[in-house]
């Protein structure tokens, strides 16, 4: 028996748990509040995609002539699917890696329409290992089954969402309410059966649903309905990303037939107070909570209790979640793109909110973005070590709005000081702070990838967005990451207010050149959506758009609007995504942009060498006294030698540094070498306080002259180029 049951309703991710309940459980541990968490999504998927689950799917009565030829083929091959499904799922869980050879033999899995793209993608398999190729083929197999389920069994099904349409911009609760009160779907039956088992086992006093996305909303209501009908003494609460953004103006009382409470923003204090209220009938305090009082929806925020600092909320706790049951899939044969769906990642946050907080399309008026609070590198790496012990996983995804460069540097140094072997990735802004040296340091600490918003690759629109970057700056930063061996994914946008057709075409050309130069590995286009809590949504007239007003009783986030340009931006969607699919696989850069569209577009005005020319720059020999200098090597050998020239002898010291993949030799004057080796030891990465370059200059000039001549000399430049010396 536990006080709380924390639920992530279907569906979010297949490869790793959505972290919200783990964050909350970690906090509850610090308050000695007992809880159990479950990801209903992965449990439903595993029941559905099993031998018994597919038998139920294929035993459902259908009119065979009423379904597509593709679905008819899948139905005809049902015995092959039923025979292979358990083995495929086991393989995708990482339990039977030897099955990869069978899968790649191309006569093991039944194939339907999803496999048609293979002829176009054989080139990609040259870059994929056996395991990745098998994962990709197994993913296509599951997608074929999903197509059948959507067409013949349950049209609302999706691997990472369920009935998403009902949760998107649902200003009225009517349609969702009718669906909740209607017949249970095939997926509902599985979900509610699993939930009932959990409720009987855990016997909670309060069930908390974390709803991050519209695609989790309907299932949460379905589950809450079952609880209210069969366990009326159990209280129910809703929190998470969806209510935080969409339900801030909720008025419809019918919502509270299913949920007793809806909490907004950081959930720790609201949930702590709900727990206290379970045993109270008077003097109840609430924090940012909607509930029913006197038959009306009221918003209660009568507690004086402050939100907890990030350092005090505890380490996320993944206990109870079936970590070995998640399945890794590869939808696209692109190493960067697969990070979201392949591998098990412990999720952490470097900082609460966004340190930039200015982008005009973003919900910057809301606390989860507006209130910026970083955590110390020491506490963060403490939490990483704790999670490694409890989960056995060394992969980390920092799910920041935008990870701060200075904090990333400190985290990287802390990881190196502790000699940790971890793999991590995060979301960033393409700041000029990401120098070549910082990117190299991040790589050494285990960073393998970053994602960031390029949005509209147009300097005029980037300025209007208040992104604080330029296309040239993005090119230089992505070059720095790429040269360090870190992959980059860019979020791209089209249809921003006042964007012209010419700007859309020029933006695509910028993206084409970034891929062709090899400094961008993955990207995704999405069409601009105006949200209620963004600067554009709050002041639409300033951005040349007219909102289409609707009365709000339920959800309010995405706002329909008309753009004064009158351009139908949606018609660009297919061409933008098709071109990007090709560029991500390294092909068809030479095709004119017109080839991607079935309507006339203007020629690009961007010079064909624009990105190339952005990367042409002189060597930087500028002295930067405030840069922090770190030496990243332990394997230094000094050998005194003598150089003979004619009748003269010149003593010198050869310094040999063994790096992981190569050996670097430099020759220095003996006295300089002795001083330099001493400085390297004193300022290694293990030193918690890196020395400023000005301090090193002062020390040098106590014994020698002209530090700049030494610092920019060929031997020292060689060490910089090999990452032995980093200026941060």
Contact 728, 628 (CB under 8 A): yes
| Model pLDDT, residue 350 | 95
Q: What is the pLDDT of residue 72?
A: 95
List all residues 6 or more positions away from 256 whose beta carbon is below 8 Å from its beta carbon.
Answer: 290, 291, 292, 297
CATH number of the domain encompassing residue 355: 3.80.30
Q: Would you say residue 107 has pLDDT above 60?
A: yes
Domain assignment present for residue 384? The answer is yes
The continuous run of DSSP H or E covering 516 comes out as helix 501-516
pLDDT in tens, 284-326: 999 999 999 999 999 999 999 999 999 999 999 999 999 999 9
- pLDDT of 334 > 60? The answer is yes
Q: Stretch 244-259: mean pLDDT, rounded?
A: 95
Looking at the fold, whether 254 and 301 belong to one and the same domain comes out as: yes
- Evaluate if residue 546 carries a pLDDT over 90: no
602 shares a domain with 483 = yes
pLDDT of 724 strictly over 70: yes
Residue 118 has pLDDT above 80, yes or no: no
Number of domains in the chain: 4
3-state secondary structure of 553: coil
Please report the DSSP string for 368-418 in residue order: HHHS-EE--HHHHHHHHHHHHHHH---EEEE--SS--HHHHHHHHHHHHHT
- The answer to whether residue 85 is domain-embedded is yes
| Residue 290 and residue 175 share a domain | yes
Same domain, 390 and 462: yes
- State phi, psi for 658 to the nearest 5 degrees: -90, 110
Average pLDDT over residues 563-590: 92
In a domain, 181, yes or no: yes
In-domain check, residue 239: yes
Q: Could you tell me which residues come within 8 angstroms of residue 577 by beta carbon, excluding any fewer than 6 positions away? A: 525
The mean per-residue pLDDT over the stretch 639-650 comes to 84
pLDDT at 119: 54
Query: Are 452 and 583 in the same domain?
Result: yes
Same domain, 696 and 660: yes
Q: What is the rounded average pLDDT of the residues 99-109?
A: 93
How would DSSP label each residue in 466-488? T----HHHHHHHHHHHHHHT-EE
Fill in the DSSP letter of residue 149: I
Could you say which of 591, 614, 637 is where a domain stops?
Answer: 614
The answer to whether position 441 is within a domain reads yes
Identify the domain boundary among 159, 193, 216.
Answer: 159
- With a cut of 70, say whether residue 169 has pLDDT above it: no
107 lies in the same domain as 199: no
> Is residue 116 predicted with pLDDT exceeding 90?
no
> What pLDDT shows up at residue 504?
97
- Percent of the chain past pLDDT 90, that is, above it, reads 79
Predicted confidence (pLDDT) per residue in 202-228, tens digit = 999 999 999 999 999 999 999 999 999
pLDDT confidence bin for 687, thresholds 50/70/90: confident
> Is residue 517 pLDDT above 70, yes or no?
yes
559 vs 471, which has greater pLDDT? 471
Domain assignment present for residue 326? The answer is no
Q: Could you say which DSSP state residue 419 is in?
A: T
Per the listing, tokens 């799917």 go with 57
Q: What is the CATH number of the domain that holds 283?
A: 3.40.50.2300
Q: What is the mean pLDDT of the chain?
A: 92
- Kindly state whether residue 597 falls inside one of the protein's structural domains: yes
Model confidence at 585, pLDDT cuts 50, 70, 90, reads confident
Residue 129 within a domain: yes
Q: What is the dihedral of CA 153, 154, 159, 165, to 10 degrees?
A: 160
Considering the domain architecture, whether residues 360 and 442 belong to the same structural domain is answered as yes
What is residue 332's DSSP assignment? S
* Minimum mean pLDDT range among 92-96, 162-166, 598-602: 162-166
Which pLDDT belongs to residue 666?
93
- Residue 120, pLDDT score: 53
Residue 555 binned pLDDT confidence (cut-offs 50, 70, 90):
confident
CA dist 604 → 502, 506, 565, 592 (Å): 7, 5, 19, 10
Residues 232 and 263 both lie in one domain? yes
Q: Do 457 and 415 belong together in one domain?
A: yes
Q: What is the DSSP string of 492-511?
A: EEE--TT--HHHHHHHHHHH
Best CA proximity match to 452, nearest among 435, 433, 472, 477: 477
With a threshold of 0.95, does the pTM exceed it? no
Q: Is the pLDDT of residue 125 over 60?
A: no
Beta carbons of 244 and 214 less than 8 angstroms apart: no
Q: Which residue has the higher pLDDT, 551 or 612?
A: 612
236: left (phi over 0), alpha (psi -120 to 50) or beta: beta
Q: Any bridge partners for residue 628, and if so which? A: 692
What is the domain range of residue 69?
Answer: 47-159
589 and 654 housed in the same domain: no
Is the confidence at residue 677, as pLDDT, over 70? yes
Q: Which stretch of 154-168, 178-192, 571-585 has the lowest confidence by average pLDDT? A: 154-168
Cβ atoms 614, 510 nearer than 8 A: no
Alpha-carbon span 714 to 542, nearest angstrom: 54
Among 64-78, 262-276, 328-342, 362-376, the minimum mean pLDDT is found in 328-342
Pair 523, 585 in one domain:
yes
Least confident of 369-373, 424-428, 616-620, 720-724: 616-620
Its sign, for the CA torsion 134, 526, 456, 511, is: positive
């Amino acid at each position: 028996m536990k006080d709380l049951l924390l639920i992530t309703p279907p569906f979010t991710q297949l490869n790793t748990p959505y972290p919200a309940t783990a964050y909350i459980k970690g906090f509850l541990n610090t308050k000695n509040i007992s809880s159990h968490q479950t990801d209903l999504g992965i449990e439903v998927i595993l029941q559905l995609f099993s031998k018994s689950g597919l038998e139920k799917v294929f035993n459902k009565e259908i009119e065979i002539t009423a379904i597509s030829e593709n679905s008819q083929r899948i139905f005809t091959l049902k015995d092959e699917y039923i025979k292979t499904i358990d083995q495929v799922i086991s393989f995708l869980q990482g339990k039977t890696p030897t099955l990869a050879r069978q899968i790649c033999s191309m006569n093991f899995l039944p194939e339907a329409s999803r496999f048609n793209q293979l002829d176009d993608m054989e080139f990609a398999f040259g870059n994929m290992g056996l395991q990745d190729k098998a994962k990709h083929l197994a993913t296509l197999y599951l997608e074929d089954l999903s197509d059948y389920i959507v067409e013949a069994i349950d049209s609302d099904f999706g691997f990472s969402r369920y009935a998403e349409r009902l949760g998107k911009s649902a200003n009225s609760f009517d349609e969702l309410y009718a669906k909740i009160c209607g017949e249970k779907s095939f997926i509902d039956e599985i979900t509610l059966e699993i939930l009932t088992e959990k409720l009987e086992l855990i016997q909670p006093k309060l069930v908390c649903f974390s709803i991050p996305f519209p695609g989790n909303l309907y299932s949460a209501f379905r589950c809450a309905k079952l609880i209210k009908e069969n366990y009326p003494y159990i209280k129910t609460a809703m929190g998470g990303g969806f209510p935080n953004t969409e339900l801030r103006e909720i008025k419809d009382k019918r919502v509270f037939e299913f949920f007793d409470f809806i909490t907004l923003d950081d959930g720790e204090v609201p949930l702590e107070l709900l727990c206290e209220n379970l045993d109270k009938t008077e003097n109840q305090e609430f924090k940012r909570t909607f509930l029913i009082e006197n038959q009306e929806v009221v918003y209660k925020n009568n507690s004086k209790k402050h939100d907890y600092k990030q350092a005090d909320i505890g380490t996320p706790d993944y206990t109870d979640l079936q970590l070995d049951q998640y399945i890794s899939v590869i939808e696209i044969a692109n190493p960067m793109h697969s990070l979201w769906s392949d591998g098990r990642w412990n999720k952490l946050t470097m900082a609460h909110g966004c340190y930039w907080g200015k982008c005009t399309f973003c919900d910057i008026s809301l606390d989860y973005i507006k209130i910026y609070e970083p955590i110390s590198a020491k506490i963060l790496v403490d939490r990483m070590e704790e999670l490694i012990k409890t989960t056995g996983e060394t992969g980390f995804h920092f799910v920041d709005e935008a990870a701060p460069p200075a904090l990333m540097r400190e985290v990287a140094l802390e990881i190196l000081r502790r000699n940790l072997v971890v793999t991590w990735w995060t979301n960033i802004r393409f700041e000029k702070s990401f120098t070549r040296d910082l990117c190299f340091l991040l790589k050494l600490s285990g960073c393998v990838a970053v994602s960031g918003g390029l949005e509209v690759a147009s300097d005029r629109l980037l300025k209007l967005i208040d992104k604080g970057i330029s296309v040239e700056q993005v090119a230089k930063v992505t070059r720095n990451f790429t040269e360090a061996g870190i992959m980059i994914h860019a979020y791209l946008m089209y249809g921003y207010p006042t964007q012209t057709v010419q700007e859309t075409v020029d933006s695509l050309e910028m993206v084409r050149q970034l891929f062709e130069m090899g400094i961008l590995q993955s990207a995704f286009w999405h069409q601009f959506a105006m949200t209620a809590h963004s600067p554009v949504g709050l002041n639409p007239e300033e951005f040349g758009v007219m909102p289409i007003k609707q009365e709000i009783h339920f959800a309010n986030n995405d706002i329909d609007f008309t753009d004064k340009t009158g351009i139908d931006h949606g018609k660009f969607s297919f061409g933008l995504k098709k071109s990007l699919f090709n560029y991500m696989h390294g092909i068809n850069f030479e095709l004119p942009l017109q080839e991607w569209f079935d309507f006339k577009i203007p020629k690009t005005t961007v010079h064909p060498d624009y990105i190339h020319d952005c990367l042409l720059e002189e060597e930087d020999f500028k002295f930067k006294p405030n840069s922090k200098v770190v030496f990243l090597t332990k394997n230094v050998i000094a050998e005194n030698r003598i150089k003979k020239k004619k009748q003269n002898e010149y003593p010198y010291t050869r310094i040999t540094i063994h790096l992981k993949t190569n050996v670097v030799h430099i020759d220095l004057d003996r006295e300089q070498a002795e001083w330099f080796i001493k400085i390297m030891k004193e300022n290694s990465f293990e030193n918690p306080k890196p020395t400023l370059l000005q301090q090193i200059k002062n020390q040098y000039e106590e014994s020698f002259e002209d530090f700049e001549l030494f610092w920019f000399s060929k031997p020292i430049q060689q060490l910089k180029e090999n990452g032995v010396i980093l200026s941060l």
